[in-house]
Structure formats: structure tokens, C-alpha cells
Amino acid sequence: MNFLWGAATSSHQIEGYNTGNDWWAWEQTGAIDRKEVSGPATDHRNRFREDLGLAKELGLNSYRLSIEWSRIEPEEGRWDSQALEWYAEVLAECERLSLLPMVTLHHFTSPLWFAEQGDFTSELSYHKFANYVRKIVKTLGNRIPLWCTFNEPVIMCVGKYLAGFQPPAIYDPSNCSKMFRGILKSHVRAYDLIHSEMPHRRGPWRHHPLMVGYAHNMMDFVPARHWHPMERFLTFVGRSFYNQSWLDATTGKPHKFGITGLVPTAPEVKEALGRVTTDFIGINYYSKAIMRWRAKGEHFETSPGFPFGVGFGDPGQPVSEMGWGFHPEGLRRMIRFAQAYGLPLFITENGIADGPDRYRSEYVRDHLRVVAAEIAQGTDIRGYFYWSLLDNFEWVKGFLPRFGLIEVNYDTFKRTPRPSFYELQKIISLHQQGHSAPSGKLLK
């Protein structure tokens, strides 16, 4: 099987005018930095052929995209045929350019009607999500070989009901646990639906194994002071709660999502117990998380109700426009942790916000060296997806962070490949036109 060299995007961050979802509504309240709103985003809906053409020029053989649920089902039970046709055009263009699609069904945004009913905290959420998944499977699914049911499910739980960086941004640990349960139940239902109700497969990837998984954000938790007992304990809690709980839950193990005294343990989903409900593990990795007890100062982020802070970079060291340090060794640890579950791995996101493009080339090369070394040791890593193909609307941070290999002028929407675009292009070209896995010999 060919190694997948890809880049990732998400619907709300690039398409523009996704007016029917919870994020759009939240943006109108001034919740985003500098009170920005996503608006036309990168105008990808009108420029997707140009963008996919640039992906092909880069040398990619795969593309990770998401489908915007609120476009497909703008009102409960009402399906938008034009929205479905647009995504069919995107998939057809992927086929024309030989870009194998990995499709994410839920990348942070929910239809406003679904959010107003409680989002994934509702006991009926899995049923409503399943209706959407079934529609996608029946209309588009036979041309999609790789599926992510959810992007960063734990981030969603934390962002919505603990840390306040996703709508509704309410501190409610009980709802955080309900959210985890609802997403897990929805994931399991979607996994079963995709495998059991897939129409006869068509197109160039009809013989590619049908694989259903997810993109799971993982961080390398470390104590700020290795001698500090509480910080060592917080590191253990972070690893268990944030990195491990979702992996355990989707591989049939007992649920461990919860923090004693802070977040109730999520009730178990019986449909998930004792069985593996994922065909691969997707790792989204960016940096480490430094745990500090009684944190103060600009280097640590804190949340109400939590007696600790989290830092993402070391003082005095370079950081990205997100304030995240460069820590490729953490990717090695995340790969080794995830590979113990015995499933194929994809690096579904890895990248850096770096508008001036000072660090991106070396950042990518350093992380690809890690991937190459782990593959050489026998780890089953099947693809690497850079985040992101384009500059985009970076959620609560707005348009300021620049993750793209391709610069976007937000006034004219002109696309300009950055120097790092051409550096990655050279790396892929050296690896036999993007078909061979990363090799340490070619990444020196």
C-alpha cells in the first residue's frame, strides 16, 4: 500500500459563510480574538479546484477534508441537494487529480438546530448524527475510502465545557462527561453504519481497504518541575484523561474519561465495550503540554476551577504564532503510545503557525524524521497530513495564526505558495513521487 502524503483542511475554516452552525452564531457574539468572524474564510467554495490543483503541484497523493453537516442538513430532516452536489464535485476533482480523500464527518461545528437541542450532551444525539452519516454514506460514501468520524473529540469536550474556547464556552464538568459519552456513542454508531450500509464502491479507490477511524489530538504532557509531586501527578492525569481515555474507549476497554474531584467519570457506552470500533488511530500532534501547579504568569494558561496551568512552550525558546514550542520528540512518544493498541496509524495533523515561514521547513523535516525512524522500527504508519494546506480561520484565534503551506491574502484571496511548500515538495519528490514512506536517509 502506498504511503499517503497529504494535507488537511476543515470546512468551516476555509469554505466561507457556513451560517447555519454553532460556531458562526458564537462568532457573532464577539467571542473570537479581535472580534473577528469567519465570513468568507478563504473562499474555498469558489476556489476548491485551484486549491486542489496546488495540492497536486505540491506532490500530494491524499487530501483530508471535512463535510459541513450544517450545509447538508440545515434544518432537522431537511437535506440540501445542492450542498451534497458540491461535495460530490470536490470528490470528483480529488479523483481527477489522484488525491485519495480522507473525509472527516464532524470537525468541531454542529448545525445550530442540533446545538440548541443539547449537542452531543443529549441522549438522542447519536440518533441524529447517525441520520446525517447515513445520508453521506448513501450519497457520497462509495467514493470515500478513509473516514474520520470526529476530529479531536476530547478537545471538543474540554473546549466547550471546561476551558471555554469552543461554543457554548460554559464551565460545566458534568456536561463535559455527557459530551464524551454522546460523541463516543455517535462514533460507534457511525463506525457500524459506514461498514454495514456502504453502497457498492466505485471510483479509483474502490479496492482500497475501507477504514473508519478518527483524528485524536495528543500532547506530550510533562511536569514544569520534575521534582514537584503535584506536577508529576498532573502529568499522569493529563496523559490518562486527555491522551488515553478516547483510545481506550474505542478499543473496547473500560472508560476512563474523568478527573476525581473535578470531572465526573463519563458513563460507559455498552456498545463500545469489549470490541474495537476503529480501524486506525489518527494522531494530531503539535507540541508538548507543561503542567504547572498554582500557575501564574504569561507562560501558562489557566481555567476557572482548576488549581493548575498548562504551558505550551519554554521561556526564551522560539514558539509559533499560537505560542507553541517545537518538540518533535513528543511525536515519537505519542506514536509509541498509540502503536501499543495494535492498529495502523496516520499522522492526521502536524504543523506550525508561522506566517513569515521562518521555522516551518525545519519543523516539518524534524517531525518527518521521527515518522521515518518509527517506520524503520516497524511501526505501521500509513500517512502524514500536514496542517494545513492553506492559511485559514483558526477558530477562537481568528485569522492571525498562519498554518498554511500556501499563504492566503484575505483581501484578494490570492494564493501564494510559501518557501516551505517547495521544501516539502522536494521531500515528497525524493520519496518516489509521494508513494514511499519517509526515509531517514532522504531527510538529512
For residue 306, what are the domain limits?
4-442
CA distances from 127 to 76, 123, 199, 294, 317 (A): 12, 9, 21, 42, 47
C-alpha cell at position 50: 485551484
**CATH code for the domain of 242:** 3.20.20.80
C-alpha cell at position 417: 505558495
C-alpha cell at position 60: 500530494
The structure's pTM equals 0.98
CB 267 within 8 A of CB 285: no
Q: Cα(244)–Cα(386) distance, rounded to whole angstroms?
A: 23
| Per-residue pLDDT tens listing for the chain (444 residues) | 699 999 999 999 999 999 999 999 999 999 999 999 999 999 999 999 999 999 999 999 999 999 999 999 999 999 999 999 999 999 999 999 999 999 999 999 999 999 999 999 999 999 999 999 999 999 999 999 999 999 999 999 999 999 999 999 999 999 999 999 999 999 999 999 999 999 999 999 999 999 999 999 999 999 999 999 999 999 999 999 999 999 999 999 998 899 998 999 999 999 999 999 999 999 999 999 999 999 877 688 887 777 889 999 998 899 999 999 999 999 999 999 999 999 999 999 999 999 999 999 999 999 999 999 999 999 999 999 999 999 999 999 999 999 999 999 999 999 999 999 999 999 999 997 677 999 988 897
Alpha carbon 236 to its chain centroid, in Å, reads 23
Q: Cα(444)–Cα(390) distance, rounded to whole angstroms?
A: 26
CB 365 within 8 A of CB 352: no
CB 290 within 8 A of CB 222: yes
3-state secondary structure at position 260: coil
State residue 349 phi and psi, 5-degree precision: -155, 140
CB 40 within 8 A of CB 407: no
C-alpha cell at position 326: 517545537
Block residue for cell numbers 479507490:
205
**Residues with Cβ within 8 Å of residue 79, at least 6 apart in sequence:** 72, 73, 135
Number of domains the chain contains: 1
Q: Cα(64)–Cα(76) distance, rounded to whole angstroms?
A: 27
| Of the candidates 90, 282, 278, 266, the residue with the CA atom closest to the CA atom of residue 182 | 266
Residue 382 belongs to what H/E stretch? Answer: strand 381-387
* Burial tier of 134 (Cβ tally within 10 Å: 0-12, 13-18, 19+): middle
